[in-house]
A and B are shown apart, each in its own frame.
Chain A
Amino acid sequence: MGAGETRPPAQRPTNRLEGMAQASARVPFKLKVAVVWIVIFVILAFLFNAADFDTEFMRSRADFVLKGLTYTVIIAFAGIILAVLMALIGSLGRLSRNPIAYGVSGFYTSFFRGTPLIVQLFLLAFALPVIVGNLGLPQSIEDLLTLDPFIVGIVALGLNYGAYMTEIFRAGIQSVSHGQSEAADALGMTYGQKMKRVVLPQAFRVIIPPTGNEFIAMMKDTALVSFIGVSVEQSEVFRRAQLAGVEDFNPVEAYLLAAGVYWALTAVFTFFQSRLERRISKGYVRGAPTAAPKGTNIVSVSGQGSSGGDLPMVVDEGVPGPELGGQGH
């Protein structure tokens, strides 16, 4: 073999395809993704143009639709607060050995996870008043149970999401090691003290990120409230879009507008959600013992990669008592 033939073939592209592949490898992945997004938007803009939408309508009714954001956000916030309360109570019930607490919470999650949200909305809005009316209750209680449609929306979303989040909360509470619960018991804490001081603060680290996801999902489901006859003034985004579309015979433009508003809204909250998630997971590494199984030596595990210099391995001075001799090993 001659010396001239030993040149490695990979140094020079053998054909055009390989050349492109090599050039592509030098472009950062994020940049490529950005290009993909731009292309999608260009195509969408072309289609939008080709469809000849009534942009004047969209511009003129945007204010009216955007006013619904206030109500969309109010419903979602109030709904998630109710859902968190229901999930907390529901999960404690699911983890209880009290048959009433266990049974009632089991019924709650089974019904609200087993029926469609839209059906629950209609039941609360239209069936409940009938049932209440037929019970022959005093007028004051009847008035109390006849809910404003806006409130019905909040209650239905809260109950429905609360049932799903019961499982999230239950898993979060169960992720706290049993040893934590025993340590609290051994100090003489009551059940309430143990939950409030020891178990729930640790469980919430697991619970908060998926709760953020549920909140974002709920913001979109607020659109369902448009079906139960909320007053125009209190209407959320989708109902306003519907109203505007019907009024001006421009339903397609109205729905597009609504989609854009929801998308922007969830994009904003998804951004904050992912930041929150990152912050919590950072804290979780340091707080790793919550997830460590009983009996493991946490420090020896977590101390390996991190700042090992902070873990002195010698007996500190100031330990009272003389040294122990003759440990029988």
Chain B
Amino acid sequence: MTGVRNGEAVVRVENLHKSFGALEVLKGIDMEVDKGEVVVIFGRSGSGKSTLLRCVNFLEDPTSGMIEVSGVRLEGGHRTKGKREQVRQLRIKAGMVFQSFNLFPNMTVIGNVIEGPVTVKSIPEADARAIGLDLLDKVGLADKADEYPIRLSGGQQQRVAIARALAMEPEVMLFDEPTSALDPELIGEVLAVMKSLATDLHMTMMVVTHEMGFAREVANRMMFFHEGVILEQGTPDEMINHTKYPETKKFFEAVL
């Protein structure tokens, strides 16, 4: 796979700044993610990679800059009442998968998956259920539909979380360290599902991860975050084998 940009950007980030108090975590990020592209974002902890992802769907309010997801374009800065509704519209187009899964423990597996379509999109429950079961089948958990999340392993929970995000038919999927909380033997099943999203569904994906095997195989583009800026980006081959920066090289030495 080569990182051919097709010019049809699903996500646009322009001059994004984010500060927590006096600490500036993102120092002017510009990037685009094209339709069907898989972008892996990596870097040291504290480099701002997760914050970027959380700014894209406004789980963090950007201090300044511009975010656009599938045509919904929003300025950073103070959140006003009118903006709240736009943020919601933007979030509907961006599916999010969290490090700690965050499944709703008070709902069954299928309940988790259809919650978005039924509550947010007002899709009739029977229709949503059919779609949900199909998605659970895709992530290999159709037989767990009526279980509660607590009865599932971490890897299974994360796959349900992926199905839950997919049920909203998002334009882009955001993965925030989706395998970091998993026991090593459970990581593979989650990565396999993510890979099938990319290869079978041609899903646009932004993935914050340290799984370099996954990046090498699935990513069209890799981005190295360092101290709040994108220090370097390129194809997995360019990044892993021919990096120009000592910081990137040092990082690879640590994780590979």
Contacts and interface: CB of A to CB of B under 8 A. Distances in A.
Contact of A299 (B98, B99, B153): B153
B120 A183 contact: no
Interface in A176-220: 177, 179-180, 182-190, 193, 197-198, 201-202
B77 interface: no
Contacts of A303: 153
A327 B100 contact: no
Contacts of A193: 119-120
B154 A299 contact: yes
B31 interface: no
B191 A324 contact: yes
Contact of B102 (A183, A324, A326): A183
Interface residues of A, number: 49
A327 to B, nearest CB: 3
A201 B220 CA distance: 42
30 contacts: A179-B102, A182-B98, A183-B96, A183-B98, A183-B102, A185-B91, A188-B120, A189-B119, A202-B105, A202-B106, A286-B150, A287-B106, A289-B149, A294-B100, A295-B181, A298-B101, A298-B150, A298-B154, A299-B154, A313-B153, A313-B186, A318-B137, A318-B140, A319-B139, A320-B140, A320-B196, A321-B199, A324-B217, A327-B191, A328-B213
Interface of B: 57, 59, 88-89, 91-92, 94-96, 98-106, 115-116, 119-120, 137-142, 148-157, 159, 164-165, 168, 181-189, 191-193, 195-196, 199-200, 211-214, 216-217, 255-256
Interface of A: 177, 179-180, 182-190, 193, 197-198, 201-202, 286-290, 294-300, 302-303, 310-313, 315-321, 323-329
Given A296-B181, A319-B189, 20 more contacts: A179-B102, A180-B104, A183-B96, A186-B94, A187-B168, A188-B88, A189-B88, A198-B106, A286-B148, A289-B149, A295-B100, A315-B155, A315-B189, A316-B156, A318-B137, A319-B192, A320-B200, A327-B214, A328-B216, A328-B255
